[in-house]
Amino acid sequence: MSNEEKELLIESLARELPRRSPGEETIMKVSEAIHGQAKPARRTEFGPVMDMEELAEFLRVDADTVAEYLDQIPHFELGGKLLFRRKSVEEWIEARERTIGVQSLHVEFDRPVLPAGTPAGGRRWAL
C-alpha cells in the first residue's frame, strides 16, 4: 500500500470514529442555564410606588429578603397591599449606607457598637 493510500485509509477511518454523547447531567445543567438566561432582562426603570416584587427587583434581592427586612424598609399599606415609595426607599438606602460605614469602622477595630434601636439579634455584619 502506498503512503497516499495509507493516508486515504486513515481519513476514511477518521470519519468512522465512534461518537460519544455527553452525560445526562451535563446536558441538564446546560439546559437549565439556557432557560435561566432566556428570561426577560431585568427592569431598570421603576415607578414612584412599587409593590413587594418590584422592590425586590429594584434592590436586586429576592422577595424573601425584602420580607425579612420589612420592619426596617419604609412602607405603607393600601387595600391590604404593602407598597413602597421609591423616594423613601432610596432615602432608607442612603441612611443604611451611612450606618454600614459606621459599622465597618467598628468591625475594623473589633469593638462593634450597635446603633440605638438595633433589633434583637443584632445586625448583619457581612454584607
Partner 1 sequence: MAGISDEELMVMFQNGNGHAFELLFEKYRIPVFNFIHRMLGRDTTSAEDLLQEIFIKIVRAKDLYEPRGRFSTWLFAITRNHCLNFLRSRRYLEAKSSVPLDDRDAKEPAVGASGNEVREMLEKAIDGLSDKCREVFLLHAVEGFTHKEVSEILGENAATVRTNYRRARAELRERLGDVLDDREVRDE
Smallest separation, CB 10 to partner 1 (Å): 5
How many other β-carbons are positioned within 10 Å of the β-carbon of residue 98? Answer: 9
Q: Least distance from C-beta 56 to partner 1, angstroms?
A: 21
Q: Taking the complex as a whole, how short is the minimal distance between the CB of residue 57 and partner 1, in angstroms?
A: 17
Q: Contact between 34 and partner 1 (CB under 8 A)?
A: yes
Number of residues lying near partner 1 (CB under 8 A): 31
Under rule CB under 8 A, residue 43 binds partner 1: no
Among 27, 105, 107, 114, binds partner 1 (CB under 8 A): 27
The closest of 89, 81, 78, 79 to 56, measured between CA atoms, is: 89
**d(Cα 29, Cα 37) in Å, to the nearest integer?**
12
E strand or H helix that includes residue 82: strand 81-85
Cα Dmax for the chain: 92
Helix (H, G, I), strand (E, B) or coil at 13: helix
15 lies in the site for partner 1, by CB under 8 A: yes
* Rounded CA separation 104/125 (Å): 8
Using CB under 8 A as the binding rule, whether residue 91 contacts partner 1 is answered as no
> Which residues sit at the interface with partner 1, rule CB under 8 A?
1, 3, 6-7, 9-11, 13-23, 25-27, 29-31, 33-35, 37-40
